[in-house]
Structure 1
Amino acid sequence: MKNIKFLFVALLVASLALWSCESDDDTDLSLALEAPKDVGLVFNITQDNSGLVTISPSGEDVTSFEVFYADGTDESIVLALGENAQRSYAEGTYPVRVVATNLGGKTTEFTRDLVVSFRAPENLLITVSESATSNYGVSVSASADFETSFEVAFGEDPALAAVPFMEGDVVNYDYTGVGTFTIRVTALSGGAAVTEVTEVVIIADPVTLPLNFESSTLNYNMIPFEAAVSIITNPDTSVGNLSSKVVSIEKTGALTYGGVVVPLSGPIDFSGPQSLRIKTWSPMPIGTKVTVKMESSNGAISTADYDAFTTKVGEWETLFFDTTGVDTTQPFSRFVVFFDLGGAPTNDVNYFDDIELADGPPILLPLDFEDTNRIYNIGTNNGAYSIISNPVPDLVNSSNTVMQFVRPATGPNNYSLVAIVVDQPVAFNATTSFTLKVYSPRVGLPVWLKIERIGNGGLFQEVTSVTTTVANGWEELTFNSFTGSTTADLRNIVIFFDPLGTTASPETIYIDDLIKTN
């Protein structure tokens, strides 16, 4: 029995040996590994004038480090990843060298001077700069004479240990929120003597577009001239502007150019839209001029004045400022806003809000397709649309531009429709109604009107009982008897043409002037 067991073990050893020999022919994947990278050294000198130094190597793709002490001996120590070494040094400068080795035997060397000095560091200079990647971040570096290393505390959390670093290193830190913080940098010597410098930093939200004036921590630093300006609670929270905060402006004095400068934290990014939209509220007559221009941070570079004119009295509306031709290579970083520029002060208080870049005016009710600047978000099903010159103007509809919808020949249970997204939610109550001008090729064409939530068509208001009574002529259809629920954010307007009906040949239908009448 013992002999049998021995034979089994011998066969197993032979089998393993054979597998090992065969595996020698396989490709050694470790040979493809890149040499270690980001190799570095951090020194921590005990603050008791003993000269005891803890040497901590670091790097990526490393299996071991060999640290050469460079203290007049040839001695070194091999460390695994995460280990450190300790050595006592006399005062002086030592070019400590580390050789990092990876699994494939490739090496990378790095040398850093260890300065052991028992006098207090001198000429400590620190640099604190804004982070390039975070609105709440800072980067810290330092230099000094007779220092061995540094520590930095960022002043946000007293329980957080100071971060050690070496001259030439940059330490990055992200604050968790806005506030005023004291950064303390300590230069360490080889003994107990240290030198400290502090710098106060203020972390604030950046003022960027779109600008809505809602932040409770942000200092908008607006600069009024010949005007009284403040950020106040929105006096008219309506469908036109649901914001909590808006800017109030009143021209004062006897001059005609009262306005306000609205600075940003940096130059405007024109990589996308280049024109402007601003929400305004004015008690002044319809046609009151609102003027905007853009300037560099010191006002030395300026655009032309861009004008828009109010269309409402005592209501919020969104005005569009066409800045076609503006030189987008200039560092424009602030706006100047005027109401009734050139007119004498009238003691009227105006408001504005939500400054943003945009390609065109907002898409709002009523929909009349007359403004060529508007860029519509339109979808269709079982049909094709186009915005064209009115091909059949008459007394009912003499407007210049209408929407054409070509409905193809369809079988039963097909939905032919056009959907238009508007920028402002449509509000409903028990008496809400709409009118729509329609040109139909036949009497009895069913037209449905549905307003639904984008992304959730199950939330909607709809009327399905309206049909045309005129063939080959314009007529105005009325849609009422909505449920009047308070369903919010209904912005997708869908118009159906004979849904579920069958036609043997295509039909061309025109629509215009969708108006919410109450």
Structure 2
Amino acid sequence: MKNIKFLLVALIVASTALWSCDSDDSRDLSLALEAPKDLGLIFNITQDNSGLVTISPSGVDVTSFEVFYADGTGESTVLPLGENAQRNYAEGTYPVRVVATNLSGKTTEFTKNLDVSFRAPENLVVTVTESATSNFGVSVNATADFETAFEVTFGEDPALAAVVFMEGEEVIYDYSSTGTYTVTVTALSGGAAITAVTEVVMIEDPVMLPLDFESSTLNYNLINFESNVAIINNPDVSVDNNSTKVVSIVKTGAQTYGGVVVPLGGPIDFSGPQSLRMKTWSPMPIGTKVTIKMENSDGSIASVDYEAFTTKLGEWETLFFDTTGLDTTQPFSRFVVFFDLGGAPTADVNYFDDIELADGPPILLPLTFEDANRIYNIGTNNGAFSIIPNPVPDMVNSSGTVMQFDRPATGPNNFSLVAIVIDQPVAFSATTSFTLKVYSPRAGLPVWLKIERVGNGGLFQEVTSVTTTVANGWEELTFNSFSGSTTADLRNVVIFFDPLAATAAPETIYIDDLIKTN
């Protein structure tokens, strides 16, 4: 037994001795580790001009790296072995420093310059288009690869700063006058590298319909023959023509065909209306002939003459020229206008303005329903209308054509009415009055006259106190002492027929000749 005990003690002692020896050797090995060596830095710069750099340090005998970015912030990042850091840099050179550390705490430093140079934008595509709302406007957009933003200058005002925009955005610019301008679009990289494209644009103010002669920048290039022609201030501004500028024409010499050619910027578009309207003012007798014809750019192709006749003396009016049969496939690009074609010169000065395409004559007061060419904009409520030959002509109204209003049986507050939109607003004063011819199936029919703003019936002038006195016969009603909330831009003429009372049976009512008497 003693031998056994001795053996165990000896083994324990030996084991203790072995452990003590291993511990001492490990401590000595740690102290003997060399400082980190073979340090390196790899910079991976993204190619999207964002300035994003991936920094990957490497080395031998390293447990961690501290990367100092050297971008002026004083910031750094500690990375375990095998990891990297990311940082956004502006364009420039940066001495990036890395400090490597091992298990024993020994360090080694390494510095490498990072050069950040942005790539010039590529595939720059610039689109310049005409503005949809202005003859003087353009819109600009652009696309490119490797760009961070765009700048555009429009070549009109050197002192005007460039407009910065992003891909997908649109820049709109209106020039102050006609001319030739250079639009420059620059694609930015975020640094010094740029790519620029220029485009030349011509800003024109084309002569086109409707033609009102109001432009201060446009050269209308009027061509007179056997006449004196000028664009002047409107000598008679009125509700019938409140334009600032009009054309004056007076025949000269001994010829009977004095007139003026009015060129356009291109062929007339006949895809819509094909007839013409023109405002005229003439001191010549009522019934004076006014003639328009159309020609191509050099006059080698011409339409027939289209005629209209004045109905006013020394006042503005709108004449309608019915061009039925016109060959609209021809490239007509100018008008020729004559006053009193075929008549000898009289030294009378005539004026014209506002040439436009139209389906029919303007709807103006007085409303007589006699012109078959007029195309009315008419609405109704609790009733229906039709324009028919006068079914009951008499001494009060012998007109050939009237309006018929068929009113059904209705309950109270029915507001049976007919509404007619006219082309010129009605001017009101304290003494304004109207007359209207009415044929009613009964005496005592209340008739209201209201003239309101189109689209806003709360702005109006009206009379609600006129009542018929004749059954089954024409009579002329007078409307005066108007009341309402405004007198501006009133063009919707509304006529009510007993609008508050109920009727047990349908009624047919005729109206005609709405005339503003003062």
Structures share a fold, TM > 0.5? yes
Give distance in 1, aligned partners of 2:318 and 2:255.
Answer: 27
Check the 8 A contact 2:460/2:486 in 1, yes or no. Answer: no
- The verdict on how the C-alpha distance between 1:445 and 1:132 changes in structure 2, with shifts beyond 3 A counting, is closer
The Cα shift of 1:484 comes to 9.1
Q: Are the equivalent residues in 2 in contact too, given 1:277–1:357 (CA < 8 A)?
A: yes
Alpha-carbon deviation of 1:300? 1.1
1:15-71 per-residue CA deviation (whole Å, 9 max, x = no partner) reads: xxxxxxxxxxxxxxxxxxxxxxxxxxxxxxxxxxxxxxxxx999xxxxxxxxxxxxx
How many residues are matched?
A: 381
Distance, in Å, in 1 between the alignment partners of 2:461 and 2:161 is 59
Q: What SS does the corresponding residue of 1:228 show, helix, strand or coil?
A: strand
For 1:485 and 1:312, locate their aligned partners in 2 and report how far apart those are by CA, in whole Å.
Answer: 32
Cα gap change, 1:199 to 1:454, in 2 (>3 Å): closer
Partner of 2:478: 478
Match of 2:176 in 1: 177
What percentage of aligned pairs have identical amino acids?
79
> Which residues in structure 2 correspond to 1:399-438 (within 5 Å)?
399-438=399-438
Aligned CA distance change for structure 1 residues 377 and 153 (closer, same or farther; 3 Å):
closer
1:379 matched to which residue of 2? 379
Q: 2:454 — aligned with what?
A: 454
CA distance in structure 1 between the partners assigned to 2:217 and 2:478 by the alignment: 49
Structure 2 SS opposite 1:503: coil
Q: Which residue of 2 aligns with 1:300?
A: 300
Q: Residues 35-184 of structure 1: matches in 2 within 5 Å?
A: 135-136=135-136, 155-158=155-158, 176-181=175-180, 183=182
Deviation for aligned residue 1:292:
0.3
For residues 256 and 512 of structure 1, what CA distance do their matches in structure 2 show? 41
Shift of 1:499: 1.1
Q: TM-score, normalised by structure 1?
A: 0.66
Do the aligned partners of 1:204 and 1:217 also contact (CA within 8 Å) in 2?
no
Q: Aligned AA for 1:412?
A: P
* Kept after mapping to 2: 8 A contact 1:435/1:516: yes
Asked if the contact 1:440/1:509 (under 8 Å) is kept, the reply is yes
Aligned mates of 1:245, 1:111 — CA distance in 2 = 49
**Partner secondary structure for residue 330 of structure 2:** coil
Pair 1:389–1:111, CA change in 2 (3 A):
closer
Name the TM-score, length of structure 2 as normaliser. Answer: 0.66
Q: Residue 357 and residue 57 in structure 1: after superposition, are their counterparts in 2 closer, same or farther (change >3 A)? A: farther
Q: Does 1:398 align with 2:392?
A: no
**What is aligned with 1:169?**
none
CA separation of 1:485/1:237 partners in 2, compared to 1, >3 Å: closer, same or farther?
Answer: farther
Show the 5 A alignment for 1:343-354: 343-354=343-354
Does the 8 Å CA contact 2:275/2:321 hold for their aligned counterparts? yes
Amino acid of the structure 1 residue aligned with 2:477:
L
Question: Offset of 1:459 from its aligned partner?
Answer: 1.3
Distance (whole Å) between structure 2 residues aligned to residue 448 and residue 130 of structure 1:
53
Point out where structure 1 has 5 or more consecutive residues left out of the alignment.
Answer: 1-55, 59-82, 85-109, 113-128, 140-151, 163-171, 186-197
Q: Secondary structure at the match of 2:491?
A: strand
Task: Give the equivalent residue in structure 1 for 2:314.
Answer: 314
Instruction: Kindly report the root-mean-square deviation, in angstroms, between the aligned alpha carbons of the 2 structures.
Output: 3.8
Q: Matched residues in 2 for 1:232 and 1:302: separation? A: 28
**Which residue is equivalent to 2:359?**
359
2:342 counterpart residue number? 342
Provide the C-alpha distance between the structure 2 equivalents of 1:283 and 1:484, rounded to a whole number of angstroms.
37
C-alpha separation in 2, matches of 1:244 and 1:111: 50
Give the aligned partner of residue 53 of structure 1: none
- State the distance in 1 between where 2:412 and 2:183 align: 77
CA apart distance, 1:207: 1.1
Question: What are the superposed Cα offsets for residues 177-227 of structure 1, whole Å, 9 maximum, x if unpaired?
Answer: 323346599xxxxxxxxxxxx999752311111111111111111111111
Is the counterpart of residue 245 in structure 1 residue 259 in structure 2? no
Q: 1:436 to 1:154 in 2, by over 3 A?
A: closer
- Counterpart-to-counterpart distance in 2, 1:220 and 1:246: 12
Q: Who is 1:491 aligned against? A: 491
How far residue 135 of structure 1 moved from its aligned partner, in angstroms, is: 4.3
How far does the alpha carbon of each residue in 1:126-147 deviate from its partner, in whole angstroms, 9 at most, with x for none? xxx99697844799xxxxxxxx
> Offset of 1:433 from its aligned partner?
1.1
Separation in structure 2 between the aligned mates of residue 175 and residue 480 of structure 1, nearest angstrom: 49
Contact 2:387 2:402 in 1 (8 A): yes
1:205 matched to 2:205: yes
In the alignment, does 2:267 pair up with 1:267?
yes
Q: Give the residue type in structure 1 aligned to 2:431.
A: T
Contact 2:250/2:350 (CA < 8 Å) preserved in 1?
Answer: yes
Alpha-carbon deviation of 1:394? 1.1
Q: What is the alpha-carbon distance in structure 1 between the residues aligned to residue 421 and residue 174 of structure 2?
A: 40
- CA shift at 1:356, angstroms? 0.4
Partners in 1 of 2:154 and 2:123 — Cα distance?
Answer: 29
Alpha-carbon contact 1:432-1:484 (below 8 Å) kept: no
* Per-residue Cα deviation, 1:277-309 (whole angstroms, up to 9, x for no partner): 000000000000000011111111110000000
Q: What residue is the counterpart of 1:147 in the other structure?
A: none
In 2, the alpha carbon distance for the partners of 1:340 and 1:184 equals 50
Residues 1:230 and 2:256 aligned together: no
Which residue identity is paired with 2:439? Y
Partners of 1:256 and 1:342 within 8 A in 2: yes
Equivalents in 1 of 2:251, 2:427: separation in Å?
34
